[in-house]
Structure formats: structure tokens, C-alpha cells
Amino acid sequence: MVWGCFSDTSMGPFKRIVGTMDRYVFEDILENTIRPWARANLGQSWVFQQDNDPKHTSNHVANWFRRRRVDVLEWPTQSPNLNPIEHMWKELERRLKEVRASNANQKFAQLEAAWLLLMPKDTQPNSSRMAIDQSCTEVGNEYFYAEVGIQKMS
């Protein structure tokens, strides 16, 4: 399993997860991967966008966000088409469709190399922007927020 993030301007960390990712593993990623990267690239004030996976929304993780004073964007349930990271995963899959690996280490190296070549604009879904705008309006979110994984606050 892999985990990655990005902002509206740059690709963020890409991490290999060994074993099962639970709320404790996710908190470790937030503290030791996301937080240092966000401080270096986004400054002190930023908003985190994530899906509603139980490990992401657990009280344990919610407490981390509160302690660290990180705002989390409210995200509608059952909305994978709006989640920008899902478009990034699809693009990564498309780019590596014909590439074979002989083991897990080689596969991770291929994924990581492809990740570093991606750009935040690759989160744009293939459908028209108008269709995305309408979907966001229906669920009560602005398209601006659907475009970015982590947004720097001005």
C-alpha cells in the first residue's frame, strides 16, 4: 500500500505503507511526513482535505488535527469522483499500466518515480469542468476545494 499527498502547487510526499494502515499509522504520517512537508512548503496555515475513511475521521486523528491546529475541509460522503487524490491515483495507474515489476520493492520504486513526475494539474478529471462544478454545487462544495489536496491559507 502507498500513501501520497499534494497541494495546489506541488506534489507532496509519497510513502510506502508496510502492513495495515490504521489510525495510528495515519497519525504517524500526519506528524512525521505531512507536518514537516506542509511547514516547509505551505507555511503555518493550511487546510487538509481527506476522504471519510474511518481511520481518517477517527477521534484519535481528529485529536491530532485539533492539537496541531490544522483545519480539515468538510468532505461529502460517497463522493470519490470529487476527491482530487482519486484522479491522481488513476493517472498514476494509467502511466504504469504496461510496466511490470518483479517484486514489491521494484513496484514501489516505479510508483515513486512516476509520482515525482506528476503535477497537481493531473488531478483535473477527464470530464468537463462544468460537470464537476455542477457536482460540487449539488454536494455543497466549491470546485476550488475539490481541486486541491492541501491548500495554503492566505
Is 60 exceeded by the pLDDT of residue 133?
no
Copy the grid coordinates of residue 86: 482519486
Per-state percent for the chain, helix, strand, coil, to nearest 5: 55, 15, 35
CA distance 7 to 41: 9
The domain defined by 2-152 carries CATH number 3.20.20.70: no
pLDDT of residue 122: 67
Q: Taking the alpha carbons of 100, 96, 78, 34 in that order, is the dihedral positive or negative?
A: positive
The full set of domain ranges for the chain reads 2-152
The pTM for the full model equals 0.75
- Residues 5 and 85 sit within 8 Å (Cβ to Cβ): yes
Look at 6-10, 15-19, 67-71 and tell me which has the smallest mean pLDDT: 6-10
Residue 84 above 90 pLDDT?
Answer: no
